Amino acid sequence: MDAASTFAADSRRPITVRLATPRGFCAGVDRAIQIVERAIERFGAPVYVRHEIVHNRHVVERLKALGAVFVKELDECPDDRPVVFSAHGVPKSVPAAARSRQMLFLDATCPLVSKVHVEAERHHAAGRHIILIGHAGHPEVVGTMGQLPAEAISLIETVGDAETFARPGDAPLAYVTQTTLSVDDTAEVLAVLKRRFPELPDPHKEDICYATTNRQEAVKRLADGSDLVLVVGSPNSSNSVRLVEVALRAGARDARLVDDASHVDWSWFDGVRTVGVTAGASAPEPLIEALIEALRARFDATVVEDDGERETVAFKLPRALTA
């Protein structure tokens, strides 16, 4: 009997599916998507969006179908159509340019990212040099660094960077972080910085957002006892990629990122009795539901929802869309 026949004969074997709580959309993502949807309803199509509103291919394609046009830079947008800035935030120069062109713009920056911007500006006003812990080139990092003069902020990505960072001059130091980082990785970087620069103050509030923290804690629980963890999310989603890393570090035998159910390689399930399922903060719930149905189609699946943090956070929409 060949491998395909063996799998077919065994395809209805029992399997336990553990579903993470919380998972999927966070309040910032939900708000950003609503801003694009409401803008199209109020102003008609097209509505321009600078960068992907959130990092999920399915969300972007659905909004394109409604009339959103995604561009890389503001100069690709006409003056007479609304433009939305993505949830990741933008450098100060972007809204300044929009104002100079008298454009109608809507800022979908997550309020928790905006909080980091405010914190960085507060440190700068106090004369501190700011260390930003994050990933180079990520839109959120570009946006945060763009709040300040280039010489006022230094990016640190790794423990190695923290070991070799040289204080510019004699300025006191402060730090902020990208909101979607691995909590554990960030703690390792901070441990090095605190050892080298004991005077570093703690952040006013934790920069890694509640949704990132909650989803990472949930995936740690999944990893304990799961042979395989599937994370629904797009490859360019920082928080989704981190969930895979966290699952592996927490003890999962295997962990994979899948854009949707069609990206599952069913050979991953050889010997798997328990699979954990979660989703990044930019992945819509229907993708998770479709993955569960795909599992049920191939296995005698028992779905158990893990107990976790129940999120009730909601963010207000801009006045231009509610007045």
Q: Count other Cβ atoms within 10 Å, centred on residue 263.
A: 13
Quick check: 86 and 49 in contact, CB under 8 A?
A: yes
Q: Count other Cβ atoms within 10 Å, centred on residue 75.
A: 8
Pairing of strands 274-279, 129-133: unpaired
Tell me whether residue 140 is one of the annotated catalytic residues: yes
Question: What is the spatial distance between Cα 291 and Cα 73, in angstroms, rounded to a whole number?
Answer: 35
- 3-state secondary structure at position 130: strand
- 3-state secondary structure at position 18: strand
- 3-state secondary structure at position 249: helix
DSSP string across 169-193: TT--EEEEE-TTS-HHHHHHHHHHH
Quick check: 142 and 167 in contact, CB under 8 A?
A: no
Catalytic residue among 61, 140, 217, 293: 140
How is residue 67 annotated by DSSP?
T
Residues with a known catalytic role? 140
